[in-house]
């Protein structure tokens, strides 16, 4: 319904969205952008996907997915229904909704890198027109939408909340989790004005089963950080507990499983070789960086970050110990790393702690190989370079390595075969619960 308090542009845009006539522009066709594009296409919206990677754009227009858990058939169906991808940002004016799903990594000083957000905003700004809504989904610190997007989007003299509409709605994706789909994960939305919020709610209520409005873009930005910092802090706690338990000769996984039987007041988090994925290793630093502007030092959050970042070195220390007990040196040893994606059963390599383990082992002089059924070739990465392909696991191949380091517990691995043939296994994921002479828990 039209709202008399809103501008003509707002009411026109709301009518387009409600009638499924709005054109949806997705900027960044990656792990976040692709599922969202498919969802809107499935609902009958015209979708334009924007990306700076010409090869990715060509693949998508040919019906080919570059993400393992998104089927080629789903991309092809969307293309057949009218979805198209482009590197031509001048086509921004064709879209009614501009949804930014671009990376927000950290720089080498562990400070927020908003270059992708800013460059994308500057690419679209010359092509803005009245009657568009801009939604930032990238994880960032509170204030980004107002401080970085607002002035750039207002540069053409249009008024936010009257001519164009600005919202922040943090992405929530869990690649490989079959229990949730894009539409079943509740969506938080904050608007710069009440009109912005109304447009944002209408936009996402079309695609998402439950939309959760909050009072501002800052509140929405902090909501996303709290979600992931909560997880990072608890993983840091359990990683520290793992070290304590190991020193005491106690199996931390047995302890966690026992504690998880408590029906209230406890949530089970499990230790590993470190944190991975685009959000959890990065988000705490976005908040700690911004908090300094207010004279605050987030000691608790930073401490958990230090613990989690130290886990790859802890795992490598266990490898050194395992080799020493076999009277071998790490330098010159052949090490097989099992699983290099950041989590089980996906091909997502973003911030994978497995790669950090590989780097440390290589620096120490080990000869490195890896096996990962979801990552057949080591991909191009900003900070890491390995000219490697995934090794096929056979009893003979496994037995030929001085040590096997289990860093990501994919379901496709034959763990019994690996245990029966490996000289030594350093298990950072708690796969091998029963004692075995050739298994060292890390």
3-state secondary structure the chain: CCCCCCCHHHHHHHHHHHCCCCEEEEECCCCCHHHHHHHHHHCCCEEEEECCCHHHHHHHHCCCCCCCCCCHHHHHHHHHCCCEEECCHHHHHHCCEEEECCCCCECCCCCECCHHHHHHHHHHHHHCCCCCEEEECCCCCCCHHHHHHHHHHCCCCCCECCCEEEEECCCCCCCCCCCCCHHHCCEEEEECCHHHHHHHHHHHHCCCCCEEEECCHHHHHHHHHHHHHHHHHHHHHHHHHHHHHHHCCCCHHHHHHHHCCCCCCCCCCCCCCCCCCCCCCCHHHHHHHHHHCCCCCCHHHHHHHHHHHHHHHHHHHHHHHHHHHCCCCCCCCEEEEECCCCCCCCCCCCCCHHHHHHHHHHHCCCEEEEECCCCCECCCCCCCCCCCECCCCCHHHHHCCCEEEECCCCCCCCHHHHHHHCCCEEECCCCCCCCCCCEEEC
Q: How far apart are CA 418 and CA 404, in angstroms?
A: 9
* CA distances in angstroms from 376 to 65, 343, 373, 389, 410, listed in the order given: 16, 16, 6, 6, 14
85 is catalytic: no
CB 410 within 8 A of CB 374: yes
CB-based burial of residue 185 (10 Å sphere; 0-12 exposed, 13-18 middle, 19+ buried)?
middle
Buried residues in 361-387 as b, exposed as e (16+ CB within 10 A):
beeeebebbbbbbbbeebeeeeebebe
Considering the candidates 85, 101, 196, 279, report the single residue annotated as catalytic.
279
**Locus of tokens 């949530």:** 267
Angle at which helices 353-363 and 299-325 cross, to 10°: 50
Structure tokens at 135: 């939604």
Residue numbers annotated as active site? 279
């Amino acid at each position: 319904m039209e709202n008399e308090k809103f501008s003509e542009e707002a009411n026109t845009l709301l009518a387009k969205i409600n009638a499924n006539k709005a054109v949806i522009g997705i900027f960044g066709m990656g792990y976040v952008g692709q599922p969202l594009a498919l969802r809107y296409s499935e609902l009958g919206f015209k979708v334009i996907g924007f990306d700076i990677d010409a090869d990715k754009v060509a693949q998508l227009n040919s019906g080919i997915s570059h993400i393992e858990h998104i089927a080629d058939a789903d991309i092809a169906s969307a293309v057949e229904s009218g979805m198209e991808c482009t590197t031509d940002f001048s086509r921004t004016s064709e879209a009614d909704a501009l949804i930014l799903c671009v990376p927000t990594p950290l720089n080498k000083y562990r400070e927020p890198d908003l270059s992708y957000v800013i460059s994308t905003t500057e690419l679209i700004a010359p092509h803005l027109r009245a009657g568009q809504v801009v939604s930032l989904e990238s994880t960032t610190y509170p204030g980004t939408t107002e401080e970085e997007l607002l002035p750039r989007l207002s540069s053409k003299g249009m008024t936010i909340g009257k001519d164009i509409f600005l919202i922040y709605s943090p992405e929530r994706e869990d690649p490989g989790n079959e229990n949730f789909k894009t539409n079943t994960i509740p969506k938080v939305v904050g608007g710069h004005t009440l009109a912005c919020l109304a447009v944002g709610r209408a936009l996402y209520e079309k695609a998402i089963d439950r939309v959760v409005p909050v009072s501002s873009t800052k509140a929405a930005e902090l909501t996303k950080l709290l979600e992931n910092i909560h997880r990072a802090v608890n993983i840091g706690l359990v990683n520290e507990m793992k070290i304590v338990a190991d020193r005491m000769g106690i199996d931390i996984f047995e302890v966690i499983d026992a504690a998880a039987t408590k029906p209230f007041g406890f949530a089970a988090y499990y230790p590993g070789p470190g944190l991975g994925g685009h959000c959890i290793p990065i988000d705490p630093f976005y908040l700690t960086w911004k908090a300094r502007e207010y004279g605050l030092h987030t000691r608790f959050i930073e401490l958990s970050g230090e613990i989690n970042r130290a886990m790859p070195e802890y795992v490598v220390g266990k490898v050194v110990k395992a080799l020493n007990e076999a009277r071998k040196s790490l330098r010159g040893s052949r090490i097989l790393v099992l699983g290099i994606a950041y989590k089980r059963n996906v091909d997502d390599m973003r911030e994978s702690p497995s790669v950090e383990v590989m780097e440390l082992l290589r620096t120490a002089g080990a000869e490195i190989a890896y096996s990962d059924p979801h990552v057949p070739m080591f991909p191009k990465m900003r900070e890491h370079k390995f000219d490697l392909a995934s090794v096929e696991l056979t009893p003979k191949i496994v037995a030929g390595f001085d040590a096997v380091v289990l860093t990501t517990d994919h379901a496709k691995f034959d763990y019994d075969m690996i245990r029966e043939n490996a000289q030594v296994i350093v298990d950072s994921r708690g796969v091998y619960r029963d004692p075995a002479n050739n298994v060292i828990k890390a």
